[in-house]
Amino acid sequence: MGGALTVPGNVTPYTEANINQDPEAADYVYKHAKHLVMVGLDVTMQTLLTKKETQEWRDLGTEKGRVFADIFDYYIEAYDRLDIDKRGAALHDPLAVGVAVDPKLVTLLPINMMVTHEDGRTIGDPERALDPVKTDFAAVEVDTADYLDRFMNYTNQILG
């Protein structure tokens, strides 16, 4: 998980938090990977977990369900308090794992990418734009309902 191709960043207008930690390293990875799939804010901000889902975990009646719900409720409340999103909290890294397991959860745009060193912007690499071989792929759409349904089924099994 990292980057933002078609949406604003969450650290600066262009920079996503993970990329912001080391733009030069991220750029190196984008330019040298053989098959990199960027699951960025473009799709992760569409996978919002709400208190409806955390209540489902509480309703399992297990200690694990309650603790997990408490953790995610804190995250949801932070999103609200920090005015990130009033509807819920994004499942950034869990979606990246989901895509690693089943890439069909997202629509991928083949694009050779780079990260600008000065501001951490994730963009198409102009030097490789016309290369017929694309080594990077950006997730640009997600089947939100399918993903959230799978996420809840898996977590309910683990927490139940």
Measured between alpha carbons, how far is 40 from 5 in angstroms, rounded to an integer?
7
Three-state secondary-structure class, residue 13: coil
Residue 92 is among the residues annotated as catalytic for this protein: yes
Q: Is 17 exposed, middle or buried (0-12, 13-18, 19+ CB in 10 A)?
A: middle
Measured between alpha carbons, how far is 88 from 94 in angstroms, rounded to an integer?
15
Q: What distance, in Å, lies between the first and last C-alpha atoms of the chain?
A: 28
Active site residues: 92
